[in-house]
Amino acid sequence: MALLVIGLLSSSTAFAPSRAAAPIQSHEALRSRRSAVRLADADSPAKITIRPPSESAAANGAAGAAKVTVRVRQPSERATTDAATVAPPPIAIEDDSASTKVTIKAPAKKPAAAPPPPAMPDAPPLTEAEQSLLDATQRANCSSILDALQAGANPNVRDPKGRTPLHFVAGVGLAPAAMLLIHFGAQIDVRDADGLTPMHMAAGYANAQTLRVLVAAGAQTDIKGDAQGTPFDIVCALGDYQLTQVSGNRFKKKDDKLEKLKACMDVLDDPEAAKAEADWDEMLTEVLKAISPA
C-alpha cells in the first residue's frame, strides 16, 4: 500500500507542468532601474500611459494588477508632432514691388502773403487859422468864419468823422456861411465817413435855403449815402413820418416841419430850375455886406 501511494505521487509530479521560477530582484536593482527610467525621461521626451485594469480582470479577482504600458517616442517624432500643433499656418507673402508705383508730391508753394496796406498817414496838426475855423463853425458865427478863411484856413479841413465845415453849416442851416466856404474853395460833394455829403445834411435837417445855395453852386443831388439814399429819399422819408404825426392831431391845421420839407421838395424835385433862378454873385455880395463891418 505504501508503495502504491509513493508511485502515485511520483507520477503526479512527473505529469505536473514545469513553471519557471520568477527571479527575485534585489532592492538595489530596482533602485538602479528607476534611476535609469528617470534619466531616460529627462534626456529624451517620453509619453507614459497608465491604463486601468479591464472589467474582466476585476471580475476574476485580479484587483490591483494594473497593466502599465510605457511608450517612448523618438525626439524627431515628438518635434514633428509639436511643430504641427503649435506652428502657425504659413503666411503667403507676395512680392509685388515690381507693380507698385510710389509717387511723392512736393508740397505746393504757398503764395506770398500780400503786404499789409500802408498805414494811413497821421493828419497834420491843425494850424491856428484852421482851429479858429472849426470853432467858428461850431458856434455858427459867420464873421469868425470869414476871418479864419481870410487868415488862410483850409475850408476842407476834416474832423475825426470826416466832416468838413460845410457839412456843419449845411446841417445847422447857415446858408451865408455855406456861401463863404464855397467861395473860398470848399468841396461841394465831399463825403464823410458815412458817405453823406453837405446836401444830405441840409435835406436831413430840412434846410431849404442851404439846399438852394448848394444847388446853385453845382452840387449833385443824386449821390447816395451808405444807408440813407439820396437827399430826395431823405426828404420823402421825413415827410411820410411827419404826416403820420400830424394826421393824428385834428386840431393842428399847419405843421412847420412839413412846410420846411415841402420847400426842400420843391428844390430837389427840379434842381435845374432852382439853379436857374439863383444869381450866385448877387447872393454872395449880399452876404459879404451883411457880415463885413461898415
What CATH code is carried by the domain that includes residue 227? 1.25.40.20
Q: Is residue 135 part of a domain?
A: yes
Taking alpha carbons only, the member of 197, 185, 191 closest to residue 268 is 197
As for how many domains the chain has, the answer is 1
Q: What does the CA dihedral 60, 62, 63, 69 come to, rounded to 10 degrees?
A: -120
pLDDT, tens digit, for every residue of 50-81? 555 555 444 455 444 445 555 655 555 555 55
For residue 265, the enclosing domain spans 128-291
Residue 89 lies in a domain: no
Given a cut of 50, is residue 9 above it in pLDDT?
Answer: no
pLDDT in tens, 16-48: 444 444 455 555 555 555 544 454 444 445 555
| pLDDT of 127 over the 80 cut | yes
Confirm whether 106 is domain-assigned: no
Is 50 exceeded by the pLDDT of residue 110?
Answer: yes
251-260, long-range: CB within 8 Å, 24+ apart, which pairs?
Answer: 257/206, 260/206, 260/207, 260/208
* Predicted confidence (pLDDT) at residue 259 exceeds the cutoff of 70: yes
- pTM, two decimals, is 0.57
Whether residue 276 is contained in a domain is answered as: yes
Q: Which residue has the cell 400830424?
A: 246
For residue 42, count CB atoms less than 10 angstroms from its CB and return exposed for 0-12, middle for 13-18, buried for 19 or more: exposed
Nearest partner of 276 among 233, 210, 194, 216, judged by Cα: 216
pLDDT tens by residue, 180-207: 999 999 999 999 999 999 999 999 999 9
**pLDDT in the model for residue 124:** 73
